[in-house]
Structure 1
């Protein structure tokens, strides 16, 4: 790309006129408008296209403005980034685009305290410090609480007046303007507002018992119990991504690039190291999840068309009760607009149906709430010639682009139900979302996430667990985790890399967190016994590979027991061998726990041998959460499955990539090299795993 169009426009004296007249020549800028120092971006896809704007003429920490002559290189960089980012992400949401620009502005603002005005002057030390500061959020990385606290403190100590309202509260906008933080690239102040609250309270009490002169912002934060929280890995990754993108796309920029790759290990790895993991969504107990999924599927397959027909024909309650009863659904329905004493109207039943569709889509696709509520008319593609159904989704949280997700026929049916339900509403609203319908009064009703969540809870209480209305509170994300857990622990050939891609996670570490839920494993114990028996049957018949120290021990026991049974019966009863092995494992406390990398833990937790497990703590108790490819691979109580070799290979590739970025001869280079050798030895052992050979008669 020889010239960057948007930069040329901004540098011209007739910028706005030039932009409007040349817009058709620059199609990738069709959704960007400029006015003075404001950049406005509009969504490029969807019926209701949102608009987001951002002021790029921000005030920097050194007191200058981004548009000042001395900051020209950074100002040009921002304008170039606006265009180059859109060029690489033509359908990305406007809000995401603006968020990326704001992250870049925060970095430039942070750099200004070091009088740096070019990326070429940025060092590795600067980048490491910025990443560490950004981990505490933009408010603290730009020192806003401290600046505001110190400015007010100095005003009071010098006897100068502060801007007050009649209600004797501080005029916060004027305070921010006075301190010079009003033009910084941050939208909301959290800790700073609490500091202002503290000042208001102390002013009313004349700072009783407080020596203001000796007070620091840290003292106030501690008094208010405001400990800065480390942002999540995802939030930090979004702040670092623009720097990585500028490096990757440097040949598109006129501005000087970084002298070296800002994140040789990748910005996601840096974020994983410094950020905090998101709070884990509670997992739906398996029995509740299965019951909810089963009943929802029943509604979609067997009752959906009948309910839609009743609703479109404006049937009264008596007819609806009769026809649904004939279908096998016994409901108490009343005429009118609202449910009463647990008796639903037909419109309420329609909402139940919509919630059942949500459950089917969420639990069988693992899509995020935002992705499901973004589904529009004809979002299923079945014309690709492969006989499969593909769901068109917009992955905003990670890849921020439209993508295709394979779905089963039941999801196709749920989408079909929603398309029929929303047909008239789509015509009236001129909006293609599936989450709407026309009320009995002829109004378009939009089904937002809160309404669907309420219907989900009512659906569960009324049709799944009538006697335990408070058993479980649903959240949308639970279905996503349930999909991950079921896929990995219930399906043969499950591969964590494929699961991570399907979930569109930033990295595999996030996926591992999804499927290492100890509570879930315990609740799946009964269900898991069926999988264990199924797996052992395959081992006994020679259809499943098993290896490692415990895998070889299992094969020896199977061989001994099969020989024993052959001497007593005419036909080898393999099922009895499986039952015997399961009883033995239960007796010693071995739970046959699957691990995400393809090993099975058979640690004898009821015997003293457990202290020899590689994950044992100081007290000799196994801690399964400390497991890893290397830890479990070398454990005497690990059985290797055919998935283990693939996991080791992936780990080796990751370490080799890390090593390629290490300075030759450095400590990290040597440590990584040793780890690779260790993994290669483990891979050799895993590849030596073999199926069980049935003893000759």
Structure 2
């Protein structure tokens, strides 16, 4: 019965949420107040998670979309609460997204109490109703049951639901956030000091008309000069123009931006974006940052002390770039007054220009989308606006690191994310699972009520999948261009094949240029390289251990030549040969002898270190058989290193052209 209710509607049916929401609406209509907090406008703002708690839910995201809309209507109507940028989520304004079936991961949480209550039964008195029923066993585990319920209910496999930000929108937003943190923050701080002094000299009269004070401040502010400011009408995404006269943090959309809102809403949001984009941390982890959380070690490396929510549930230290240190520094001075008043060290708490009121926090999701709207993030190709959330930057970091950086390592990424599960990390760097596309295609053929929404989502999802595949294509193009120009050489059997093919490409380039002397050399080279990565170099994936790249495509011929699959079949003789490379069997010596192995110069430190470690083992171990194994491995490593780096060959006749500009690339 319990599983049936989970399958039919998840938490909605388990808690009878429709009845609970109607009861809440009735109580509000009768005069009961909804939970609010000090807002950025004259109206109170809805404390969404507290409203969810009144329904027995852990957070506002757990409330179904139509029930959120019902609560939003009564909040803005009967209760007079300001929702600002929550309209899409709480008033049902946006029809771009549709509610999705429960994933196996979500269902697992609904089943977990049955397992926990049975395991803890010895500690629960019988008078309190000790659990004696064993819901799961070795044949029917909790995970198995969750996956079965998801499958029966046409749910989503346990691949997660974090949507990937389209690359152009993500890069645009990160660029504007970096400008705010690195270039505009000092100007905002200077202006904030002037405005605070202005409000001290011309305060609002108690019980009087605020408009006269505002007019006086506006007249005086009009005569001020800031000759050294970076911000201004020509600075991209800058907070300009600014209203110096109003101290309240009015919304940044629809009217002139106030200094207080720029300082205490948009600037902290820019810091949030920089931290999220360059640390890949969850929103709850970022919210836990405290004063002095960044330290510099003796080598000049920057370390961020941060709480890890899931795997560790403890504070750990991670390496961060200087931009994150700068964002933390900005947050430290922004939160200084609030920390002094509250007596705490949290960075995401703020006091306004007009001190004495309640301290305010930053609502990450709504602030993120307000910042995106203010700086003018371009719309998607279909004209809609992308809805940002902090967690999307965690996946954005993962995809960029793994697919766009020469040293990409799945193991290193998993450790940095503090996931400690390579399969979970692998799903992070996979844009869209086949199952998700299949589900959306089924939705697109469903009843007419959801057909349009499902078709639109399918189109957008497929477009984002292609966009992230473009990132991989750009990386392959960059590698091929460096080889053709003679800037780098690729070792390994696969690297030698690529070099030979590019030698042929150079000959073809010279032949065509001779036939068409008026042609643009750069344009012709771009054309040839585009065809090369589209039809020849279709794959170039980093090995998770970081020792090499793999050019194995998914063709039958390539898979037949993959040595990692030979190793797989040697240990699993009764299992069909996989349809893709198997990283579990892709060790350095196995890959080093594979036809698909590519050794760029960036991977040489791995081999040097591996040889040194193996030599150390051979010299120090007292066991003869271990010494023999280590010596044999060291010999194999040296042979791969010699062929891949010392004896590597570059292209015969490199092409030296000017670097392509943005229009030619």
TM-score, normalisation: structure 1 = 0.49
Structure 1: how far apart are the matches of 2:128 and 2:375?
58
Question: For 1:320-469, what aligned pairs fall within 5 Å after superposition?
Answer: 325-326=232-233, 328=235, 329=238, 330-331=240-241, 336=248, 338-339=250-251, 342-343=254-255, 345-349=258-262, 350-382=264-296, 384-395=297-308, 397-398=311-312, 400-403=314-317, 405-408=319-322, 410-439=323-352, 440-447=354-361, 451-465=363-377, 467=379
Distance 1:652 1:464, change over 3 A: farther
Paired residues for 1:149-188 under 5 Å: 177-178=125-126
Match of 2:335, SS?
Answer: helix
Q: For 2:387 and 2:478, how far apart are their aligned partners in 1?
A: 33
Partners of 1:498 and 1:635 in 2: CA distance: 23
1:292 matched to 2:247: no
Unaligned 5+ segments in structure 2 are 1-107, 147-156, 200-213, 434-463, 566-574, 614-627, 655-665
What do the CA deviations read for 1:187-216 (whole angstroms, capped 9, x no partner)? Answer: xxxxx7xxxxxxxxxxxxxxxxxxxxxxx9
Pairwise CA RMSD: 5.4
Deviations 1:515-539 (A, max 9, x none): 3446777423444444323322333
Q: Over residues 337-393 of structure 1, what are the superposed CA-to-partner deviations in whole Å (9 max), with x where a residue is unaligned?
A: 5438643554433311111111111212233434322222233334x4544444333
Structure 1 residue 295: deviation in Å? 1.0
Q: Map 1:120-135 onto structure 2 (within 5 A).
A: none
Q: CA deviation at 1:460?
A: 1.6
Residues 449-504 of structure 1 show CA distances to partners (whole Å, capped at 9, x for unaligned) of: xx122101221233243646954333323222322322233333344454444334
Pick closer, same or farther for the CA change 1:633–1:512 going to 2, 3 Å: farther
Whole-Å separation in 2 of the counterparts to 1:405 and 1:482? 18
Residues 639 and 518 of structure 1, relative CA distance in 2, 3 Å threshold: farther
Partner residue in 1 for 2:481: 537
**Cα gap change, 1:368 to 1:653, in 2 (>3 Å):** farther
Match of 1:515 among 429, 442, 449: 429
Match of 2:9 in 1: none
Query: Which structure has the greater CA radius of gyration?
Result: 1
Residues 653 and 459 (structure 1), Cα distance of their counterparts in 2 relative to 1, 3 Å cut: farther
The answer (yes or no) to whether the contact 1:283–1:482 under 8 Å persists in 2 is: yes
Q: Does 1:580 align with 2:528?
A: yes
- Equivalents in 2 of 1:491, 1:292: separation in Å? 20
Deviations 1:76-135 (A, max 9, x none): xxxxxxxxxxxxxxxxxxxxxxxxxxxxxxxxxxxxxxxxxxxxxxxxxxxxxxxxx999
Deviation per CA, 1:126-175, whole angstroms, max 9, x where unpaired?
A: xxxxxxx9998574265379999xxxxxxxxxxxxxxxxxxxxxxxxxxx
Aligned equivalent of 1:629, options 586, 595, 613:
586
Q: What is the CA–CA distance in structure 1 between the aligned matches of 2:119 and 2:419, rounded to whole Å?
A: 33
Name the CA distance, whole Å, in 2 between partners of 1:179 and 1:227: 28
Q: Distance in 2 between matches of 1:366 and 1:326?
A: 33
Distance in 1, matches of 2:468 and 2:584, equals 19
Distance 1:228 1:416 in 2: 45
- Measured in 2, the distance between the counterparts of 1:608 and 1:574 equals 35
Is the alpha carbon distance of 1:370 and 1:624 closer, same or farther for their aligned partners in structure 2, counting shifts above 3 Å? same
- Higher-RCO chain (CA-CA 8 Å, sequence separation at least 6): 2
With over 3 angstroms needed to count, the CA separation of the structure-2 counterparts of 1:435 and 1:584, relative to structure 1, is closer
Q: How do 1:61-76 and structure 2 match up within 5 A?
A: none
Contact 1:302 1:327 in 2 (8 A): no
For 2:603 and 2:110, locate their aligned partners in 1 and report how far apart those are by CA, in whole Å: 35
Per the TM alignment, residue 217 of structure 1 is displaced from its structure 2 partner at its CA by 6.4
**Distance of 2:409 and 2:479 partners within structure 1:** 16
| Contact 1:393–1:402 (Cα < 8 Å) also in 2 | yes
Give the corresponding residue for 1:306. 187
Q: 1:689 is matched with which residue?
A: 644
**Could you tell me which residue of structure 1 aligns to residue 118 of structure 2?**
143
Q: Is the 8 A contact 1:516 1:625 kept in 2?
A: no
Report deviation, 1:327: 6.8
CA distance in 1 between counterparts of 2:339 and 2:259 reads 20
Tell me which residue corresponds to 1:273: none
Separation of aligned partners in 2, 1:278 and 1:568 = 48
Give me the whole-angstrom Cα distance separating, in 2, the residues matched to 1:402 and 1:634. Answer: 39
Q: Give, in whole Å, the separation in 2 of the partners of 1:530 and 1:364.
A: 21
Q: Mapping of 1:103-122 within 5 angstroms?
A: none
TM-score w.r.t. length of structure 2: 0.51
For 2:145 and 2:398, locate their aligned partners in 1 and report how far apart those are by CA, in whole Å.
25
CA distance in 1, matches of 2:558, 2:581: 12
Contact map agreement 1:537 1:575 (CA 8 A) in 2: no
Give the direction of change, closer, same or farther, for the CA distance of 1:379–1:472 in structure 2 (3 Å limit).
Answer: same
Aligned residues: 436
Deviation at 1:553, TM superposition (A): 1.7
Cα separation, 2, equivalents of 1:590 and 1:388:
37
How much has 1:400 moved relative to structure 2?
2.7
What is the distance in 2 between the residues matched to 1:632 and 1:280?
Answer: 33
Structure 1 residue 435 displacement after superposition: 1.1
3-state SS, counterpart of residue 160 of structure 2: coil
Residue number among 481, 499, 504 corresponding to 1:555 in the alignment: 499
- Distance in 2 (alpha carbons) for counterparts of 1:620 and 1:368: 38
Whole-angstrom distance in 2 between the partners of 1:569 and 1:134: 63
State the alpha-carbon separation in 2 of the partners of residues 399 and 141 from structure 1.
19
Once residues 505 and 234 of structure 2 are traced to their aligned partners in structure 1, the CA distance between those partners, rounded to angstroms, is 52
Taking a change above 3 Å as real, the CA distance of residues 327 and 539 of structure 1, as seen in their structure-2 partners, is closer
